[in-house]
Amino acid sequence: MSKVSEIKSARTGDMYYKIEHDSGLTIYLYPKRDYNSKYAIFGTRYGSINNAFSLDGGEVKKVPDGIAHYLEHKMFECEDGDAFVKYAKTGANANAYTSFNKTCYLFSCTENFDESFEILLDFVQSPYFTEETVAKEQGIIGQEIRMYDDSAEWVVMFNLLKNMYKSHPVQIDIAGTVESIAEITPELLYDCYYTFYNLNNMVLCVSGDLSVEDILKTADKKLKKCEKHTIENYFENEPYEVCSHYVEQSFPISVPLFNFGYKGKSHKVSQKETAEIDIIMTVLTSPSFELYNKLDKAELINQTFDAEYFDGEGYNSVIFSGESRSPKEAGEMIKDYIENLKQNGISPDDFEIAKREVYGDLLSSLNNVEAISNALVDAHFNDTDIFGFIDDVAGCTSDDVNNRLKKMFDTDNTTLSVILPVKE
């Protein structure tokens, strides 16, 4: 018998259901009454960094780089036809993606939800790989890799990660290389599938005008019970220091691009720490605050300027990015500003403005079915709770945030990646 729990927020008045299904899968349903759009996302805790692993304490298996992304592509090809063709008949908008630490399959629709939901549960649980289809996909993904190699935005990011990380696979392109995907076989794909696509290692999140009965009707019919296994991922020891402080490359672009990163010590970030970090990142990137305006006034950035807190198993960093006429000058201004901010602290007024901005964005996201389900996936894989996170943001104090700020940025452990226009 599946266990159904209600999770409520006293602060927002919202609620969602957590269903611990008999199959081993955890399902979240966030009902949004009278919404036309419905959204479902089916994810596994398996991404590009998981290239060395063991199952139930067995031998460590090392697989080719890019295999998680390759597997995502192959899952849509079923023995009885292509899943995208099936979705076309229901009118759903379907997609999938592989990141560093997860792979997700999703669809949105305004009608025929049950039929689209069955398609999702069917094809994600039905791997079908042959020598012929795997060989065919190598050419397709090889073209995709070459396309990424021609993307200045993609190259500037991975040049930064290669400068930042010596051993951790986060510095390896998510799609792998043409050489690494040539090593992929049907046997390797099945091995990775049955390791990581076990329902106990996955999560399903649905939002829209739906009931628990609607979800269980299909889940009970389609989900296949899985035995729980222990998956252990292995990473080489990663030194704290960056590999190099600067890298540049030329591309046929009109304005230079930059990624400027602070490498940090890897640790599991708590929900409270994440709330504090979100407020800090808002102070450092929002047009409402001094750093953005100083950079803008000096004509060192434009509207593409952004930053993210980038972390996962074995990696942790803050990365600023954008276009700049002088990337080195922009990087120095960012570094100087943060050092000054660490010494003097975020002012009480700026703290309150940033906190309200983060809190307001979180509340607004609860009106978007896609944002809700995506947040539930991340919360599940991070062992956190979306309502608890809102409470943690609301409970943050100026001292909390300034103390976190002092621990985050090591001026000596930075690197700058630049893409310059090709000279005539």
| 147, part of any domain | yes
- Asked if 73 and 197 sit in the same domain, the reply is yes
CA–CA dist 398, 132 (Å, integer)? 60
The 3-class SS string of 70-114 reads HHHHHHCEECCEEHHHHHHHHCCEEEEEECCCCEEEEEEECCCHH
| 141, part of any domain | yes
Q: Which residue's entry shows tokens 């899985």? A: 226
- Asked if 335 and 395 sit in the same domain, the reply is yes
| 184, part of any domain | yes
| pTM, to two decimals | 0.95
Q: Which residue's entry shows tokens 């009608």? A: 111
Give me the pLDDT at residue 115, please: 98
pLDDT at 146 over 80: yes
Q: For residue 251, give Cα distances in angstroms to 101, 152, 329.
A: 29, 7, 20
Give me the pLDDT at residue 133, please: 86
- Asked if 251 and 285 sit in the same domain, the reply is yes
- Asked if 257 and 229 sit in the same domain, the reply is no
Closest of 190, 206, 209 to residue 198, by C-alpha: 190
Q: Long-range CB contacts (< 8 A, 24+ apart) of 395-402?
A: 395/275, 396/272, 396/275, 396/276, 396/279, 396/355, 398/345, 398/346, 398/348, 398/351, 400/272, 400/276, 401/276, 401/279, 401/280, 401/346, 401/351, 402/345, 402/346, 402/351
- Asked if 187 and 256 sit in the same domain, the reply is no
Give me the pLDDT at residue 34, please: 95
Q: Which of 59, 72, 241, 370 is catalytic?
A: 72
Q: For residue 224, which amino acid is it? A: K
Q: What is the pLDDT of residues 189-241, one digit of tens each?
A: 999 999 999 999 999 999 999 999 999 999 999 999 999 999 999 999 999 99
Q: What is the pLDDT of residues 230-257, one digit of tens each?
A: 999 999 999 999 999 999 999 999 999 9
H or E, element range at 136? helix 131-149
Q: For residue 87, which amino acid is it? A: Y
Calculate mean pLDDT across residues 410-424. Answer: 93
Q: What is the pLDDT of residues 149-181, one digit of tens each?
A: 899 999 999 999 999 999 999 999 999 999 999
CB 377, CB 102: distance < 8 Å: yes
Q: For residue 36, which amino acid is it? A: N
Q: For residue 322, which amino acid is it? A: G
CA–CA dist 317, 262 (Å, integer)? 5
Helix 386-395, helix 369-381: angle, nearest 10:
90
Question: What CATH number does the domain containing 345 carry?
Answer: 3.30.830.10
Give me the pLDDT at residue 424, please: 64
- Asked if 354 and 277 sit in the same domain, the reply is yes
- Compute CA 147 distance to the chain's CA centroid, rounded to the nearest angstrom: 21
What DSSP string describes 163-226? HH-SS-GGGS-TT--HHHHTT--HHHHHHHHHHH--GGGEEEEEEES--HHHHHHHHHHHPPP-
Q: Please give the residue range of the domain that contains residue 186.
A: 3-233
- Compute CA 101 distance to the chain's CA centroid, rounded to the nearest angstrom: 7
- Asked if 227 and 285 sit in the same domain, the reply is no
- Asked if 271 and 220 sit in the same domain, the reply is no
Give me the pLDDT at residue 423, please: 82
pLDDT at 79 over 90: no
CA–CA dist 401, 386 (Å, integer)? 20
- Asked if 288 and 340 sit in the same domain, the reply is yes
- Asked if 417 and 305 sit in the same domain, the reply is yes
Domain boundary, last residue among 233, 261, 285 = 233
Q: What percent of the chain has pLDDT over 70?
A: 100
- Compute CA 118 distance to the chain's CA centroid, rounded to the nearest angstrom: 25
Q: For residue 410, give Cα distances in angstroms to 293, 294, 330, 338, 404.
A: 23, 21, 17, 10, 13
| 104, part of any domain | yes
276 is catalytic: no
| 328, part of any domain | yes
| 43, part of any domain | yes
- Asked if 28 and 121 sit in the same domain, the reply is yes
| 239, part of any domain | no
| 240, part of any domain | no
What is the number of structural domains in the chain? 2
- Asked if 224 and 257 sit in the same domain, the reply is no
Mean pLDDT, all residues of the chain: 96
- DSSP one-letter code for 36: S
pLDDT level of residue 296 (50, 70, 90 thresholds): very high
